[in-house]
Amino acid sequence: LCNFPPPNGDTPSLMTHQDVETLFHEFGHCLHTIVTRAKYGRFAGTHVPGDFVEAPSQMLQNWVWDKKVLDTFAADYKDPSKKIPAEIVKKMNDA
């Protein structure tokens, strides 16, 4: 789930875009389980039909492709005022 790279010397733990997408996806599964309001556990969280089990996590993982969302947390670790340029986000989305 969260097998992200550890810090290395003076360099903090940095996540790739794919790592962030995985984190958001898995957090979607966590939220799905936490907010479930089912009478019986066998119908709660990820114990739902296959066509819905991935819906919350896939919706959440799509947020990491949105420049406004990325700007809330993604930045150059040496200069947090430097955000990912819009043209790079566009290229990522177009790829």
Please give the backbone phi and psi of residue 85, each rounded to the nearest 5 degrees, phi first. -60, 145
Please give the backbone phi and psi of residue 9, each rounded to the nearest 5 degrees, phi first. 60, -120
CA distance linking residue 7 with residue 85, whole number of Å? 25
Residue 26 falls in the annotated catalytic set: yes
Nearest to residue 37, comparing CAs of 28, 27, 48?
Answer: 48
Catalytic residue among 21, 26, 54, 87, which? 26
What would the DSSP string read from start to end of 54-87? Answer: THHHHHHHGGGG-HHHHTTT-B-SS-TT-BPPHH
Q: Which residues are the active-site residues?
A: 26
